[in-house]
């Protein structure tokens, strides 16, 4: 198991470092074994602290999972924001890249992806970060399609991206059957969008 210890100097730095080590250990357990593998005892052990230390930072497993989910949504939102704010790509290519970020999470970290979608909402903080993510995504969509159609097409594109991810995770997206893989289906959808 990885060593998540971080050298620190002050009590507040120690507490922050312990919390981060706990979250990294929890993410590792989540990636390797899903939500069921994440227990505060296992997380404490993985972080090199007592299981009671985990309870000082998180009242229960759901609070820890909420922190992981919220952090993942915040990271996704930032990545989409960076594409929207700094991309030299065409609007359609930037939109495709943003969808690719979401699908890549599902492909590379399927348990995290499932947590982000099936364990939410984890209260107001999760709802807020999810709404911010959708708003940033909507900004990219509005650069491609007519503005008055941007909201419904945002929903359609998100549904399609999640559909591709879910079908791939379940092994139901047979490229031979559809004569296209998930990436090609997303590309096709973006190509047939009405443009401004």
What's the per-residue H, E or C state across 24-66? HHHHHHHHHHCHHHCCHHHHHHHHCCCHHHHHHHCCCHHHHHH
Q: How much is the pLDDT for 14?
A: 84
* The dihedral formed by the CA atoms of 83, 89, 92 and 95, expressed in degrees to the nearest 10: -10
For the chain, domains (ranges, CATH) are 11-58 (1.10.10), 63-191 (1.10.357.10)
Q: Which residues contact 19 (CB under 8 A, 6 or more apart)?
A: 57
Q: What is the pLDDT of residues 11-59, one digit of tens each?
A: 888 888 999 999 999 999 999 999 999 999 999 999 999 878 899 999 9
Distance from C-alpha of 165 to C-alpha of 145, rounded to nearest angstrom: 23
CA–CA distance, 25 with 38 (Å, rounded to integer): 9
The answer to whether residues 67 and 58 touch, using CB atoms and an 8 Å cutoff, is yes
Range from 1-10, 84-93, 167-176, 183-192 carrying the lowest mean pLDDT: 1-10
Token digits of residue 11: 């009590």
Written as six digits, the tokens of 48 are 């090199």
Closest CA to 115 of 42, 66, 78: 66
* pLDDT confidence bin for 6, thresholds 50/70/90: low
Split at pLDDT 50, 70, 90, the class of 3 is: low
- The single residue listed with the structure tokens 């047979």 is 174
Helix intervals (H) in the chain: 11-33, 40-47, 51-57, 61-86, 91-108, 110-118, 124-142, 150-170, 175-178, 182-191
- 3-class SS letters over 145-157: CCHHHHHHHHHHH
Q: Is 121:127 a contact under the CB 8 Å cutoff?
A: yes
Quick one: pLDDT band at residue 8, thresholds 50, 70, 90? low
Q: Which pLDDT does position 50 carry in this prediction? A: 86
Percent of the residues in the chain that have a pLDDT greater than 90, as a whole number? 79
**137-163 pLDDT per residue, tens:** 999 999 999 999 999 999 999 999 999
Per DSSP, the three-state class of 177 is helix
Q: What is the pTM of this model?
A: 0.88
pLDDT at 186 over 90: yes
User: pLDDT digits over 65-109, tens only?
Assistant: 999 999 999 999 999 999 999 879 999 999 999 999 999 999 999
């Amino acid at each position: 198991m990885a060593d998540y210890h971080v050298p620190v100097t002050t009590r507040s730095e120690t507490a922050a470092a312990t919390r981060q080590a706990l979250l990294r250990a929890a993410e590792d357990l989540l990636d390797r074994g899903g939500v069921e593998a994440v227990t505060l005892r296992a997380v404490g052990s993985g972080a090199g602290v007592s299981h009671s230390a985990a309870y000082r930072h998180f009242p229960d497993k759901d609070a820890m999972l909420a922190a992981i989910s919220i952090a993942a949504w915040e990271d996704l939102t930032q990545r989409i924001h960076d594409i929207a704010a700094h991309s030299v790509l065409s609007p359609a290519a930037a939109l495709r890249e943003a969808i690719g970020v979401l699908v890549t999470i599902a492909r590379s970290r399927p348990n995290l992806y499932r947590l982000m979608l099936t364990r939410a909402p984890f209260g107001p903080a999760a709802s807020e970060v999810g709404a911010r993510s959708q708003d940033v995504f909507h900004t990219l969509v509005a650069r491609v399609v007519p503005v008055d159609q941007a909201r419904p097409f945002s929903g359609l594109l998100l549904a399609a991206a999640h559909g591709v991810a879910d079908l791939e995770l379940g092994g139901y997206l047979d490229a031979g059957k559809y004569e296209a893989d998930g990436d090609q289906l997303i590309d096709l959808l973006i190509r047939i969008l009405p443009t401004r």
